[in-house]
Structure 1
C-alpha cells in the first residue's frame, strides 16, 4: 500500500466523520446523519462525495453556512406530500427524519412527493433514491445549489451541477441506481485537478472570459459546461425547476456560494416515490428479467452493480483513503 494512502474500516470512517462533525459544531443528530451519508458514499465508490466532500461540510459548519443545530421542520399539507424546511441545516437530516413517513405514505397512496428547501448541498443524490428502492419504491430525485455551470448559449454560471437520480427495486438482484450530473463532470473533479496542478479535458469548462479551457484553476473562476451541449443544459433547467421552483428553494443564480461566506446556499431537493405494485404487481420480476436480458444478450451496462460491488468490498476489506484527507479531517479545529 502506498505511504500516501490509509485503509480504514467503515466503522473507523464513521467515527472519524462523526467526531470531526461534532468538533465543528454539529448536533449529535446532524453528525450521525451526515456521517452515515459520508460512509455510504465512500462505500459506494463515490469518494469525491464521501470524505473528500466532508471537508466542505466541516468548513461550512465552522463558517456558518450550515447551522449545526438546525432541526428540520416536516409538514404534510396534503396526504401525498411531505415538505421539509431544513432551516439552514443539511438535506440528509431532513430526509432521515421524514423517511419512514415518506415510505408509509407512498405505500399507502401509491406515490408521494418529498420537497426539501433551505439546506446545504445534498451530497450524493443517488443515496436518497437508492434508499427508497431498498424499501421497494421507484424513486426519482433532483437537486440544485449555487450556480456552477453555464446554460445553453450562456458563458456564465446559471445552474448548479443539477444532478438527477433514479432507482428501482428488482427481484433476485440489487436495485437499479442511476445518478448523474447535468454537467460534463463533477465540480469536485475540477477542484481536485486544480489542487494537483493537472489539466482537465476539453469540453469540461470555460474560463472567466467565456473561452473553453483545460486549465483547472481557470475553470474554477469560470463555468462548468453541461454534458451534451444544449441538451444537457435543458436537463439542468428541468432539474432546476423541480428542485428549486417546486420546492420553493433558491434558484441557483440566487443561492449564496456554498464554498465561501456565512450564508446557506438554500438548496432544494425534489424526490418522487412511487409504489410500483399499484401499477404492475409483477414489476420487480419484470424489471429483473429485462435488465438480465439487456445485460446478457445485448451487453448493456446496468447501473447499480458497480455500486453494490463497491459496497460489498468496502464492508469486507475497508476503503483506501488519501492520507491528506484523513489528516485534514482528523485535525479539523474551529478557528
Structure 2
C-alpha cells in the first residue's frame, strides 16, 4: 500500500537519498526544505515524478499536511554550516522537533528523528553504546548542534510518554557519499575536493583522531528498517563500525585520486572528538542492520561524484 511520507531536510545530503529510495519503493513523498544547506540539484531528477512534492518551508514554523510517516532530518549537520548561525541551528533542532512532533500527534503519524553521534560529545567510552550518556560541553562552539540534538531526543521521548506518539530515534554516525556539499567542511568531502584540485590536504592535530565512516546507501537502509520495525523506538546507533585515523583516510584518498597533494597539519579545533566509533550491536539485533559497503568502494563512488560536480 502506498504511504504518504514527509521528509524534512529532504533536499539535503541524506534527505535526497531517502526521498529517492522511498519513491523507488512505491511511496508518495513530500520533501520539505528551506534550502539553507539543501540543494535543489540533489532532487532535480525527482521533480518530474508525480508522487514527489517539494515544499520550501522552515521547520521552525508549523506545517500542516496529512501524511502517514515523518522523517525529521532538517538541521545543518556539518560544523561549518551549523556554526554559521548557531542560534538558528538550535532553533531548528528544538522548535523544529516540537513542530514536527505536534504534527505527528495531531495526525497520528509515525515520526523518526535523525539524531547524531555528536550527542556523545568527546567520548570517554569506546566504542559508544546507546546507554552511554556522553561528555558534551554545553558552552562550546559545537554545543548549538550537540545540545540541540540532545534536547530533540528529550522532546521525542516526552511526546511518547505524555501523548503516546509513535517515535523512532536514530543516532547517525559519520556518513558520506554523493550529494555531499563540496564546502561543508566534513573530512571526507574536504579531503576529496582538496585532492582532486591538487591542493594541500588539511589534517587537524596529528591525524591520530579516528572516525567510522558509513556509506549513505547503508545508512538509508538503516533508517527505513527503523521506521518499519514495530515495537522498537531506539535510540539506536546507525553507522559503520570500521574505524580509521584521519591520516589513514587522507592517504587512501590521495591513492584513489592519484593526487600530488601534500599533507599539512593544523591545530585541532575546540571540542573536536578524538574517537568516534558506533557500537551497532543493538541495530544488528533489532534491525538486522549490517553495512556492506566498505570504505574503498564508497570512496570511489564519492570521488566520481565530486569529479562530475567540480566539472560543473
TM-score bracket, shorter-length normalisation:
under 0.3
Structure number with the bigger relative contact order (C-alpha 8 A, sep ≥ 6) is 1
> Structure 1-normalised TM-score?
0.25
